[in-house]
Structure 1
């Protein structure tokens, strides 16, 4: 007979919370995103929001890299599969910028994969194509 601990579905591995520094950076990113969205509103291209958000974060004194290559390693084989992080802020937080009708599980899976590949803990998925930006922001842990 199976032990009680062996019954039921396997438990998910608990994710560690990101550092206080990463959380502080994430708050700055959300605040900057709100400012950009208030100025521009929905309906523009992702590249426009990405450039404006990068500019706003840079004005706030944060280090921001745009379209950062993310290589993939498989059993010692290094692949440049063309993956790019939209924004990497302070080398702590990945930001994926979207301008879509609705965020999907695929968008979330993309960011989770980038977190896993990069070894970073915190990512923000931000959809600017919404009336209220708070409805388009998702905080994800890797």
Structure 2
């Protein structure tokens, strides 16, 4: 395993652990900003670097088009997107993968604070291939 893959693995493990801790304490039913605030607090308490509302530039045909705001970036390695709804919108995974592709990062986590906690790990190879999605939770 490459060093950057190992570091991303440590960061994703920490985010998933913090996700379940926040879910166990707060439960289901709050707005996304509440879960984001709790995640930031939990991750910082665990010694991780967390940046909120990161702006990334979206390019079209090699030219800057607009900017998009990401929920969190953890340890400068993992994009984190939070959803809080009864049912995860069908577009959420694609949206998160597109956010990831707009960065130089390769790993994202989609955290669903729904009736049951669910997370999805998305990986984008920077070689222009489609991303991969794996899920977990409950």
Q: TM-score range by the shorter chain?
A: 0.7 to 0.9
Q: Say whether 1:129 aligns with 2:87.
A: no
TM-score (norm 2): 0.82
Mapped pair 1:139 → 2:121: yes
1:46 to 28, 32, 37: 32
Asked if the contact 2:79–2:109 (Cα under 8 Å) also holds between the matched residues in 1, the reply is: yes
> SS at the partner of 2:91?
helix
Aligned ranges 1:1-142 → 2 under 5 Å: 19-81=5-67, 83-131=68-116, 133=117, 136-142=118-124
Alignment RMSD (CA, Å)? 1.3
Question: Which is helix-richer, 1 or 2?
Answer: 1
Higher strand share: 2
Q: Relative contact order (C-alpha < 8 Å, sep 6+): which is higher?
A: 1
User: How far off its partner does 1:119 sit?
Assistant: 2.3
Q: Secondary structure at the match of 2:81?
A: strand
How many residues were matched structurally? 121
Higher CA-based Rg: 1
* Aligned counterparts of 2:48 and 2:56: Cα–Cα separation in 1: 21
Segments of 5+ residues of structure 2 without an aligned counterpart are 125-138
TM-score (norm 1): 0.80
Distance 2:66 2:34 in 1: 26
Structure 1 alignment gaps of length 5 or more: 1-17
